[in-house]
């Protein structure tokens, strides 16, 4: 098979929001990039992922001219409820911080970015295979792959960005011993369902219940997203629709008779709960971003917002490196990102522990978690600190 060689300044592996956002930010700074994605465009635009955008992410989308559909279709929230003792305790985000969150699905951001790429003829190659990274320790790293038509391609780059998620090839292309990995697994999982029914509440509800955690969220005025804490090793066949609704109703019940609107379940999935950080987030001319470098528990919500923070910083660093011959922002990229990553880990883990029933914890630990919940909603300084972390710390 003949290999076609192409030159590009930045090769980006992965067309999730991180890779697409990086490509677009580089374009705005005059840096050429090519995005490679193993899945089809349809798959990328339809896969359901995180749905809460922090204030810094929303501001960035607006600043680069991609906030129009988010403004029209996104669901702004000025607070959310911590539900325990069968009562709601509202955290007024905007009142406490002057900021808000916006419910707008990750796949919707991907659609907006893909459309923007198409309008400006920025290259995204979908359905590529056999992606491999080479010569990462040199100033001309390469990405080889087979394109959608079966042609072998060698992409010669000045830098490579690994935005291909936890299981992608980028991080696994690094030599053994380069990375230090920090991991923690929680002793439970999440069952997530998408219901074709209007949300039962105007804001998100995080419920701490003696039977386990539950979350009421939404994707649109017609679609509700709900989660249940379940046992490790539990399987989807153990959760018929009737059992899902019964358990959700029980955990989200209140003394004033709150009832969920029920409807057909369009999707069910199980998500493991774990934390992961790989340090450093770069090696040679390979830079990792988003889930390729770190995973946070979804309770936060921080995953997609952290990825956006990564690539915002990376776009600046690569522009300085390739256009101004200034290597300093690229040299400090990992250290700068990791400060934010560990702050997000701390908040997400604290929130997770506070709301979930740990099967390995004793009654003393459970009483501590309940005390923390009560302090968070009864102390304005505590609530303000919690709200500031939740809406997202400002970008530097």
Known catalytic residue at 117: no
Nearest to 288 by CA among 179, 126, 125: 179
Question: How large is the angle between the packed helices 17-28 and 303-323, nearest 10 degrees?
Answer: 30
Strand-pairing partners, residue 145, are 153
Which is it for strands 286-288 and 294-295: parallel, antiparallel or unpaired? unpaired
Instruction: Give the separation between CA 314 and CA 109, rounded to whole angstroms.
Output: 19
Known catalytic residue at 329: no
Known catalytic residue at 120: no
Sequential DSSP letters for 357-378 = --TT--HHHHHHHHHHHHHHHH
Among the listed residues 298, 301, 319, 333, the single catalytic one is 298
Instruction: Give the separation between CA 170 and CA 160, rounded to whole angstroms.
Output: 9
Q: Residue 74, Cβ neighbours under 10 Å: how many?
A: 21
Known catalytic residue at 134: no
Do the beta carbons of residue 26 and residue 318 sit within 8 Å? yes
Q: Dig out the tokens for 116 from the structure.
A: 């923007």
Residues in the chain: 396
**Three-class DSSP category at 317:** helix
Among the listed residues 206, 209, 294, 301, the single catalytic one is 206
Nearest to 250 by CA among 267, 222, 229, 273: 229
Instruction: Give the separation between CA 144 and CA 165, rounded to whole angstroms.
Output: 18
Sequential DSSP letters for 15-46 = -SHHHHHHHHHHHHTT--EEEE-SS-HHHHHH
Instruction: Give the separation between CA 28 and CA 391, rounded to whole angstroms.
Output: 26
Known catalytic residue at 111: no
Q: Dig out the tokens for 105 from the structure.
A: 């699905």
Instruction: Give the separation between CA 210 and CA 229, rounded to whole angstroms.
Output: 11
Among the listed residues 302, 319, 333, 356, the single catalytic one is 302
Helices (H) and strands (E) in the chain, counts: 13, 21
Q: Tell me the catalytic residues.
A: 77, 206, 298, 302, 390
């Amino acid at each position: 098979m003949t290999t076609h060689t192409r030159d590009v300044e930045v090769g980006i592996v992965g067309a999730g929001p991180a890779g697409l956002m990086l490509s677009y930010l580089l374009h705005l700074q005059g840096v050429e990039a090519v995005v490679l994605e193993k899945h089809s465009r349809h798959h990328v635009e339809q896969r359901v992922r995180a749905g809460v955008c922090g204030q810094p992410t929303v501001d960035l989308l607006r600043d680069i001219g991609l906030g129009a559909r988010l403004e029209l279709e996104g669901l702004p929230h000025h607070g959310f409820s911590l539900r325990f003792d069968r009562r709601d305790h509202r955290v007024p985000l905007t009142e406490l911080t002057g900021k808000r969150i916006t419910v707008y699905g990750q796949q919707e951001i991907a659609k907006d970015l893909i459309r923007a790429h198409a309008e400006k003829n920025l290259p995204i190659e979908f359905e590529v295979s056999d992606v491999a990274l080479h010569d990462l320790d040199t100033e001309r790293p390469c990405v080889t792959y087979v394109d959608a038509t079966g042609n072998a391609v060698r992409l010669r780059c000045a830098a490579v960005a690994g935005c291909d998620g936890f299981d992608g090839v980028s991080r696994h292309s690094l030599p053994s011993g380069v990375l230090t990995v920090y991991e923690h697994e929680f002793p439970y999982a999440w069952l997530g369902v998408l219901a074709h029914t209007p949300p039962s509440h105007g804001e998100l509800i995080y419920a701490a219940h003696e039977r386990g955690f539950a979350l009421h969220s939404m994707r649109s005025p017609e679609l509700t997203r709900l989660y249940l804490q379940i046992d490790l090793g539990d399987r989807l066949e153990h959760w018929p629709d009737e059992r899902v609704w019964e358990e959700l109703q029980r955990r989200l019940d209140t003394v004033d008779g709150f009832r969920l609107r029920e409807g057909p379940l369009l999707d069910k999935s199980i998500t493991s709960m774990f934390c992961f950080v790989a340090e450093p987030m770069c090696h040679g001319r390979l830079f990792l971003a988003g889930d390729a470098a770190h995973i946070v528990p979804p309770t936060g919500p921080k995953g997609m917002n952290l990825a956006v923070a990564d690539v915002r910083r990376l776009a600046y660093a690569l522009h300085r490196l390739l256009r101004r011959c200034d290597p300093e922002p690229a040299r400090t990229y990992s250290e700068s990102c990791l400060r934010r990553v560990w702050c997000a880990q701390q908040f997400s883990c604290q929130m997770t522990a506070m709301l979930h029933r740990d099967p390995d914890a004793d009654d003393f630990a459970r009483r501590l978690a309940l005390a923390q919940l009560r302090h968070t909603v009864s102390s304005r300084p505590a609530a303000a600190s919690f709200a500031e972390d939740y809406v997202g710390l400002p970008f530097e």
